[in-house]
C-alpha cells in the first residue's frame, strides 16, 4: 500500500478495522537550532535525509521550547515534552499523571526509548516498554560517529520488534551538543574560513542578561572572535551532517521492513543554541537563537506545507495523539497542532511566552517580541518581520512607545495565565553593565 493511499485512508478517518494505527518515530536532537537544517534555509549544513522529510511533510516555523527554570534547559524541555505540561507546571510531571508513553501504550503501541542519560526525564521514560540510554553521553559525543549507537540499536529493534502492535519510537540523540566530534571525512568537507558568521554576531553581549558565565558561555573566550565562532560552527554543522546520515539508516530500515509508508515521523530538538549570536554561546537566553526549534511532521495523513503558527514543544504530545488516532489525555497544557497541519485552522494560540530562570521573560504576538530582564529593569523590543535576527532594539523609540506598552502588558497577562509570579520590575536592580571575567573560556 503506497504512502499516498494511506494518506487518503487516514484523512478519511479510517477505523481500526480498516487500517492499523500508524507507527510513530520521534527523532529528537540536543541543541539543534531551528536554522540548522538545509531544507529550512541553511545551505551550509548537509542534511539530505531530514531535507526529504521537510520537503514531503509539514513544518512549523515558529516552534519553541518555552524555556528553562534551571540552567540545563534540556531537562525542563524534556519534562515538558513528555508530560504535555508548561514550564511553570512541569514539576507536576510524574509517571502517575498523563504522559506521552502512557497514552501511547494504553492505545496499543509498543513504546521504545533510547536517548542520552543526563539532563533528561528519567521517571516518565521508565514507562517505555524498552527504556535504553547511551552507555556514556560524553564518550558517544567524542566517538566521531554521532548518533551511531542509537541508530544501531534502532535498526536492530526494527528488525526484531513485536509485529502485533504499532510502535512508538522516541530517539533522543545526544547530538549536536558539545563536545562535538564529527567523522574525519565529514569534518574535512566543512571549510571554517568560508562559513558566514551569524547575522547577529557580536563579540560581547551588550549587558548582563542574568547568567553570563554559565557553563555554555565558557566554551569560547571573550570577546568572541570570528575565527573561534567559525570553528564552533564548522564542528556543529559537521556533527549534524553525520547525525543526518545515521537518521538515514533508520529511515532505510523502515523502508526495508515495509513500515515507512505507515510511519509518522516527527523531528524536533530540545532548544536552540546561540553559537556567537548576540555575543552568546548557549541556550540560556530567550532570543530566537536560544529557544526556537525545528519542528516538522511527515508520513501518512500529513500534507505538504509550512506554517507560521506558534507552537510549543509540549504541543507535540497531543498533536501526535490526534494524528495517530490516540485519545488525548485530559489535564495537559499542550494543544494539538493537527488542525493546523490538516488545514482546518490557522493557529491554536495568538501569543507566546518564553522564560529563563528569574532573569529573563519574553512575549511574542504577530511580528512583535518584547524581552524583559527584571533583575536590571531593562527591556528590548523587536519587529521580527523586519528584523528576524533581533538586531534592532526598538524599545526606546518614541514611535513604538504604544507597542512597547501593549507588549509589556501582554507579557504580564501571559505570566498570570501560566502561573508565573515573577515581578517584572526590581525595586533594587543590579547594574546592567557586564565585564567579562579575566579567566577566559576554552
At residue 3, the pLDDT reads 46
Kindly state whether residue 285 falls inside one of the protein's structural domains.
yes
CATH of the domain at 43: 3.40.720.10
User: Cis before residue 115, ω within 30 degrees of 0?
Assistant: no
> How do residues 307-322 score in pLDDT, each as one tens digit?
999 999 999 999 999 9
CA–CA separation, 373 vs 351, rounded Å? 19
Q: Do 196 and 301 share a domain, yes or no? A: yes
If asked whether residues 153 and 26 sit together in one domain, one would say yes
In tens, the pLDDT along 281-317 reads 999 999 999 999 999 999 999 999 999 999 999 999 9
Note whether residue 288 is domain-resident: yes
Whether residues 198 and 221 share a domain: the answer is: yes
| Cβ contacts of 296 within 8 Å, gap of 6 or more | 53, 54, 57, 58, 59, 60, 266, 267, 268
Give the structural domain span for 392.
352-417
Q: What is the pLDDT of residue 212?
A: 98
CATH code where residue 365 lies = 3.30.1120.10
Judge whether 153 lies within some domain: yes
End of a domain among 341, 372, 396?
Answer: 341
Q: Is residue 425 part of a domain?
A: no
Q: What integer best gives the mean pLDDT of the chain?
A: 95
125 and 215 assigned to the same domain? yes
Ramachandran category for residue 343: left, alpha or beta (phi over 0 → left; psi -120 to 50 → alpha): left
Q: Is 51 exposed, middle or buried (0-12, 13-18, 19+ CB in 10 A)?
A: middle
Q: Which of 276, 272, 273 minimizes the C-alpha distance to 196?
A: 276
Same domain, 301 and 269: yes
Could you report the per-residue pLDDT of 177-213, keeping only the tens digit for each?
999 999 999 999 999 999 999 999 999 999 999 999 9
Say what percent of the chain tops pLDDT 70: 95
In this structure, is residue 32 part of a structural domain?
Answer: yes
Q: Is 319 contained in some domain?
A: yes
Helix, strand, coil share (%) of the chain residues, nearest 5? 35, 20, 50
404 within domain boundaries = yes
- The beta strand positions in 129-191, using DSSP E, are 130-133, 167-172
> Do 87 and 146 have their domain in common?
yes
Instruction: Please check whether residues 359 and 319 belong to one and the same domain.
Output: no
| pLDDT per position as a tens digit, 117-175 | 999 999 999 999 999 999 999 999 999 999 999 999 999 999 999 999 999 999 999 99
Torsion of CA 300, 303, 306, 310, to 10 degrees: -70
Domain identity same for 327 and 409: no
pLDDT of residue 441 exceeding 60, the answer is no
The pLDDT of residue 438 is 81
Model confidence at 361: pLDDT above 60: yes
| Residue 16 confidence (pLDDT) | 42
Query: 104 and 238: one domain?
Result: yes
Pair (241, 383) in one structural domain: no
Provide the number of structural domains found in the chain.
2
Are residue 258 and residue 311 in the same domain, yes or no? yes
Asked whether residue 238 is assigned to any structural domain, the reply reads: yes
CA 212 from centroid of its chain's CA atoms:
22
Q: Are residues 254 and 368 in the same domain?
A: no
DSSP line for 66-107: -EESSS-THHHHHHHHHH---TTTGGG--TTS--HHHHHHHT
Amino acid at each position: 500500500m503506497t504512502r499516498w493511499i494511506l494518506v487518503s485512508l487516514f484523512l478519511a478517518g479510517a477505523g481500526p478495522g480498516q487500517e492499523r494505527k500508524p507507527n510513530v518515530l520521534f527523532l529528537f536532537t540536543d541543541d539543534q537550532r531551528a536554522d540548522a537544517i538545509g531544507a529550512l534555509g541553511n545551505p551550509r549544513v548537509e542534511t539530505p535525509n531530514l531535507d526529504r522529510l521537510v520537503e514531503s511533510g509539514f513544518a512549523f516555523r515558529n516552534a519553541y521550547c518555552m524555556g528553562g527554570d534551571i540552567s540545563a534547559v534540556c531537562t525542563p524541555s524534556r519534562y515538558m515534552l513528555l508530560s504535555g505540561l508548561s514550564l511553570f507546571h512541569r514539576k507536576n510531571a510524574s509517571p502517575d499523571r498523563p504522559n506521552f508513553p502512557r497514552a501511547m501504550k494504553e492505545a496499543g503501541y509498543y513504546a521504545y526509548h533510547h536517548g542520552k542519560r543526563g539532563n533528561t526525564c528519567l521517571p516518565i521514560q521508565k514507562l517505555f516498554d524498552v527504556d535504553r540510554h547511551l552507555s556514556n553521553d560524553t564518550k558517544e559525543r567524542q566517538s566521531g560517529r554521532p548518533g551511531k549507537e542509537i541508530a544501531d540499536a534502532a535498526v536492530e529493534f526494527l528488525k526484531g520488534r513485536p509485529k502485533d502492535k504499532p510502535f512508538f519510537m522516541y530517539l533522543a540523540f545526544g547530538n549536536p551538543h558539545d563536545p562535538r566530534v564529527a567523522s574525519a571525512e565529514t569534518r574535512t568537507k566543512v571549510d571554517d574560513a568560508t562559513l558566514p558568521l551569524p547575522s547577529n554576531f557580536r563579540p560581547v553581549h551588550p549587558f548582563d542578561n542574568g547568567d553570563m558565565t554559565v557553563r555554555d558561555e565558557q566554551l569560547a573566550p571573550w570577546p568572541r572572535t570570528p575565527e573561534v565562532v567559525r570553528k564552533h560552527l564548522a564542528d556543529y554543522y559537521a556533527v549534524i551532517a553525520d547525525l543526518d546520515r545515521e537518521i538515514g539508516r533508520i529511515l532505510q530500515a523502515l523502508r526495508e521492513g515495509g513500515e515507512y509508508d505507515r510511519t509518522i515521523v516527527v523531528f524536533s530538538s530540545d532548544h536552540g543554541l546561540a553559537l556567537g549570536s548576540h555575543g552568546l554561546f548557549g541556550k540560556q537566553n530567550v532570543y530566537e537563537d536560544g529557544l526556537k526549534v525545528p519542528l516538522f511532521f511527515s508520513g501518512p495523513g500529513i500534507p505538504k506545507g509550512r506554517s507560521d503558527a506558534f507552537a510549543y514543544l509540549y504541543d507535540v504530545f497531543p498533536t501526535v495523539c490526534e494524528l495517530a488516532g490516540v485519545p488525548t489525555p485530559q489535564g495537559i497544557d499542550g494543544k494539538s497542532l493537527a488542525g493546523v497541519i490538516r488545514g482546518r485552522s490557522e493557529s491554536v494560540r495568538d501569543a507566546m511566552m518564553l522564560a529563563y530562570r528569574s532573569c529573563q521573560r519574553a512575549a511574542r504576538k504577530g511580528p512583535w517580541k518584547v524581552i524583559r530582564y527584571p533583575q536590571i529593569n531593562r527591556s528590548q523590543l523587536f519587529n521580527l518581520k523586519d528584523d528576524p535576527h533581533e538586531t534592532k532594539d526598538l524599545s526606546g523609540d518614541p514611535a513604538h512607545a504604544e507597542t512597547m506598552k501593549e507588549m509589556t502588558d501582554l507579557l504580564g497577562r501571559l505570566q498570570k495565565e501560566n502561573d508565573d509570579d515573577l515581578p517584572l520590575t526590581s525595586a533594587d536592580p543590579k547594574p546592567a553593565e557586564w565585564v567579562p571575567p579575566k579567566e577566559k573560556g576554552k
